[in-house]
Structure 1
């Protein structure tokens, strides 16, 4: 083969090697959700890239086959051509024949390896990693066409390699796992804090939100001995008296050892205003139950589905062991520092029913004060008065 032809083939092989390397790293580094968004927007090449990511094992096998062929081509064409041109030059310098051939071969090897590593491997890899999605959309259509042309051979090679992997008791996968587990996310949060990308408070909140949901309910429940009860036969005055004395808006209702549900002080006020003589059992609303083995995540999910603010906790035998509040559960991983929690539940010693409005010295505007005082659960100013004062609102009153 003539030297110009050998150089031309060398350039083609280097370009081919770089193409397969870039396609391989682009498919591995590209984010699935970004490619799905690009495909939904109709961007050219995004659909082909997504298809390649779905059969990643086959695509990687095709890339390895292409890289291997290009490497072998460089070894069989480029190195002999360079060595052949250097050998006569070295002989004219006075080197013996055997020595000149060895030196020419070594120099040719160094040149070809250098070109292959830099042009055929490292530069394409860096480019693909720097722009993974763009690289995947650009290279996937021709890359998949090449793989399709030699698909039977690649399937055979991939099947043999998967069989060897299974011998090591590892299950081969066709797609790259794109979801991080809890440990990986926790590590990412810690690294982000170390690098100064997020504050210490944000890092604490994120870490707790990753770890606390798996905490068993038994570790966060309020013991049964601390629950504020009202008897099922209690009248409206008794309900309001206990609610005002304990600064609670909701009370659990029980009869003997049976939990009937929960009663809201507002319901008792409305019933009394309408002249009804209702007992606590008649006003009780159902309360969901949890086992002690349930996690915080399970408890939050149940309370949201049942639209309840708290639930009772029972052991394996069905015995009541305590209760949990949605406010307390969320506070475990949403509050950066332990703080008194706003209480709408039925146990003592946890702070006021609502946050109080800031005083005049705080500089808050009246509208901002009202928004801070009146919570979503109040349902309005009248509801706040009922919850906060345990009496019906007076139309002439002032808040």
Structure 2
């Protein structure tokens, strides 16, 4: 009978380890680690994503399992081990009055040690060290258990959420998996200190984060400083402007002051009559951006529109100037040595 009890105690110890490992796996793994696997057709990954969307239920199931295993382990293992120690104690002549208390104390110490090391510390560290693998193996069984025990889990969650709301804490079903800009900057600094990033890469990543904070007006070419051309401009006039200013792109503005597009010097090289007005089909499109738009959004808008220049307007639609794609990119990657980089002539 003692052997059966010891075997049952071992199963309870391993069960406790499973629930601890599953709990930490669900908390530690990020959705971004699991989503690519789910998209590739991994069924376990799909189940883990469901678990990550119902974290409070998963934690309730894990805590229920840990509590039951711990209580049963204490009730079963300690008296069994204490009983096994009584024979050796009698053999060495230990006084009868000490046999039971000493045996119980040693049994308790052994069970607590095994529970802490095998049942808690080892599975916890395994899940933290490899959360993706741990979640794929431990998450699905925990998810199934939470579904089987649905009514019990919902009852536990209801009580727990009620206590949280009394403490003015809003319960969440998902672990926060996004970071603020400040948190990302701290992560970059920590990665640099750990030698995972060199200084140049750290600066580029920090510049990329800054794009979301800075408005388009930070790289604006003011309207009053631009050298523009009219709709009837000729190839010869563009050539003269390019030679005189060293710029390669020139905004086309009509008599009403409306920006119609821009001309690039390389588009006029093959015209038949350099002294004739250039046709409108040579005008390249210019997209329109709000001056308050963050630089990262502006970069995306210009790339989608395949526009190297964009008109910048205020809230009332008044033209503030132009922004060049290369100027936005320079804020991200540093100065660009491109012969076409100098976009628009300034007065």
TM-score scaled by structure 2? 0.83
Give the aligned partner of residue 51 of structure 2.
52
Aligned equivalents of 2:324, 2:62: Cα separation in 1: 55
Give the aligned partner of residue 159 of structure 2.
160
Give the aligned partner of residue 149 of structure 2.
150
1:345 equivalent in alignment to 2:346? no
What pairs up with 1:222-301 in 2 under 5 angstroms?
Answer: 222-255=221-254, 258-261=257-260, 262-271=262-271, 273-274=272-273, 277-278=276-277, 284-301=283-300
Aligned equivalents of 1:42, 1:286: Cα separation in 2: 42
Q: Which range is displaced more, 52-61 or 41-50? A: 41-50
Aligned equivalents of 1:39, 1:307: Cα separation in 2: 33
Give the aligned partner of residue 327 of structure 1.
326
Higher relative contact order (CA 8 A, sep 6+): 2
**8 Å Cα contact 1:313-1:323 kept in structure 2:** yes
Aligned equivalents of 2:5, 2:281: Cα separation in 1: 95
**8 Å Cα contact 2:222-2:321 kept in structure 1:** yes
User: How far 1:4 sits from its partner (Å)?
Assistant: 3.6
What pairs up with 1:16-55 in 2 under 5 angstroms?
Answer: 16-39=15-38, 45-55=44-54
Change (3 A) 1:268 1:43: closer
Change (3 A) 1:93 1:181: same
**8 Å Cα contact 1:233-1:281 kept in structure 2:** no
Aligned equivalents of 1:120, 1:13: Cα separation in 2: 9
Give the aligned partner of residue 371 of structure 1.
none
**8 Å Cα contact 1:250-1:345 kept in structure 2:** yes
Aligned equivalents of 2:83, 2:281: Cα separation in 1: 102
Aligned equivalents of 1:276, 1:238: Cα separation in 2: 8
- The size of the alignment, in residue pairs, is 343
- Aligned CA-pair RMSD: 3.2
**8 Å Cα contact 1:231-1:280 kept in structure 2:** no
What pairs up with 1:374-385 in 2 under 5 angstroms?
Answer: none
User: How far 1:199 sits from its partner (Å)?
Assistant: 1.6
Change (3 A) 1:205 1:74: same
**8 Å Cα contact 2:232-2:277 kept in structure 1:** no
Aligned equivalents of 1:171, 1:154: Cα separation in 2: 18
Q: Deviation string for 1:217-265 (max 9, x for gaps)? A: 1222123333222244544433321222112222123345613332333
Aligned equivalents of 1:10, 1:28: Cα separation in 2: 27
Which runs of 5 or more structure 2 residues have no equivalent in the other structure?
none
The residue matched to 1:171 in structure 2 has which SS? coil
Change (3 A) 1:44 1:134: farther
Aligned equivalents of 1:211, 1:77: Cα separation in 2: 60
Give the aligned partner of residue 302 of structure 1.
301
Change (3 A) 1:248 1:49: same
Q: Which range is displaced more, 147-156 or 277-286? A: 277-286
Change (3 A) 1:276 1:226: closer
Change (3 A) 1:275 1:26: closer
Aligned equivalents of 1:192, 1:9: Cα separation in 2: 46
The residue matched to 1:215 in structure 2 has which SS? coil
The residue matched to 1:214 in structure 2 has which SS? coil
Change (3 A) 1:45 1:259: closer
The residue matched to 1:277 in structure 2 has which SS? coil
The residue matched to 1:110 in structure 2 has which SS? helix
**8 Å Cα contact 1:227-1:346 kept in structure 2:** yes
TM-score scaled by structure 1? 0.74
User: How far 1:33 sits from its partner (Å)?
Assistant: 4.4
Aligned equivalents of 1:213, 1:347: Cα separation in 2: 28
Aligned equivalents of 2:26, 2:148: Cα separation in 1: 19
Change (3 A) 1:30 1:252: same
Aligned equivalents of 2:266, 2:145: Cα separation in 1: 72
Change (3 A) 1:195 1:343: same
**8 Å Cα contact 2:310-2:322 kept in structure 1:** yes
**8 Å Cα contact 1:310-1:326 kept in structure 2:** yes
Aligned equivalents of 2:281, 2:218: Cα separation in 1: 33
User: How far 1:323 sits from its partner (Å)?
Assistant: 1.8
